[in-house]
Structure formats: C-alpha cells, structure tokens
Amino acid sequence: MILNMSGVVLLGVIVFLYCRKDGLKGSHALISGLFGFYLSSTAIAPSIKAGGSSLANLIGGINF
C-alpha cells in the first residue's frame, strides 16, 4: 500500500510539473487519468501491476 501511494504521489507531482512547465493542458491530464482508471479494470491490469512492482524492486535494489 505504501508503494502504491508513493507512486500515485510521484506521478501526481510529475503531472503537476508538466502542467506548469511543459504546457500540458489540464484536459490532457484529465484524459490520461481517466484512461488509467479505465485501464485498471481491464484484463491487462495485473500485468501492468506486476511490471510496476518489478520496476520498483529493480530500482530499490540499486546500491549507490
């Protein structure tokens, strides 16, 4: 749950920065959010979640 919330916050900050700095319109952000919402209820959602989890584990395993 913590990973999911931090991912949502991170993506929210990225979208906010794109809106402010790179000219992403609010309507584009809304459409992207709705697309993600509807995508989460499809059959491909478990694969996306597994890919995100694998990426988080990969990033978490990097030692500096």
Give residue-wise pLDDT tens across range 26-35: 888 887 887 7
Helices (H), the chain: 2-21, 26-39, 45-60
**CB 3, CB 56: distance < 8 Å:** yes
Instruction: Tell me the whole-structure pTM to 2 decimals.
Output: 0.57
Q: What is the DSSP letter of 61?
A: T
pLDDT tens figures, 12-55? 788 888 888 878 788 888 878 877 887 788 888 888 888 888 98
